Amino acid sequence: MSNRSVWSWHQGDRRWLLSLLVLGVAVMVVIGLGPLARSQAAVGRTELIWYGQSAFKVTTPAGNVLIFDPWLKNPANPQGQAVLDGLDRADLLLVTHGHGDHVGDAVAIAQKTKAKLIASYDLGNAMVAHLGYPKEQFGFEVTGNFSGKISLLNGDVEVAFVPAVHSSAVATDGNPQPFFAGNPGGFWVKIRNGPTFYHTGDTDLFGDMNLISQFGPVDYMLACIGGKFTMGPDRAAMAVKLVNPKVVVPMHFGLFSLPGTPEQFAAALQAQSVSAPMKLMQVGVPERI
């Protein structure tokens, strides 16, 4: 073999090795991107709808339906009755405390859909005893108390009970004396193949909010901002700083002449250099997240 043929042989060999290398890199890229592509496909399959005040409906990628503080027929939601009439599925109702603007239409939804009630032991029992929530839809497996975490719907949803600084009682028509309903709370909720939520319930700002994301990073913080009975825009912005979510959605404003507005909240977030963007949802308009 001449020097020339050795050289060209080596050249061919190199080309072959180069092709192999390119192929190898391509295979690695495909293998490496596979899970990423799958996780990106999973994102965007959770649906979130705000119905005004603190009511949110979440439909998980698996199709399960959760409703937070289900006051569907509130004055901010003129379609409330139609939404209630058209609601053909709800698996879990998560109620933060006993006040009427949070318990809302829980009993009507429960009767219609057989939804289980997720609430503290005291609140759930008060709703069963005094409001007529179906007793068989509030069992041991769906209740807990602060620091507790429960897994529901075959692991599709994890719920942690989070404290709130507020009050809680249930009232019945014609009875001026409200009934004890435990301590008020919020919820940390992780959706399988979907986002993690922190619904604050009604609360003041409290320093331990900075522990909440240690349950797991919070993607969507649903934060009360209206003031008077809860955090107003400035304190809510500070709360967002403590929780450090990816996105904050303002709630509990615009009714009962509550003074805080989303505009003030946006300004407070900016003034306090909070990096999380505010997402102002439109009542009744579904968002894929």
**Min dist. Cβ of residue 252 to Zn ion (A):** 6
Closer Cβ to Zn ion, 105 or 202, answer by number: 202
**Min dist. Cβ of residue 229 to Zn ion (A):** 6
Q: Are 184 and 96 in contact (CB under 8 A)?
A: yes
**Min dist. Cβ of residue 69 to Zn ion (A):** 8
Report helix, strand or coil for 47: strand
**Min dist. Cβ of residue 128 to Zn ion (A):** 21
CA nearest 183: which of 206, 156, 153, 216?
Answer: 206
Give the C-alpha separation, 49 to 56, whole Å. 5
Residues that bind Zn ion in the complex, under the rule CB under 5 A: 101, 202
Closer Cβ to Zn ion, 101 or 234, answer by number: 101
Say which residues have a Cβ less than 8 Å from residue 6's Cβ, sequence separation at least 6.
none
Closer Cβ to Zn ion, 156 or 198, answer by number: 198
- Beta strands, E only, 10-142: 47-50, 56-59, 65-68, 92-94, 116-120
**Min dist. Cβ of residue 132 to Zn ion (A):** 21
For 73, 132, 237, the CA distances from 269, given in Å and listed in that order, are 30, 41, 5
Closer Cβ to Zn ion, 12 or 100, answer by number: 100
Closer Cβ to Zn ion, 117 or 224, answer by number: 224
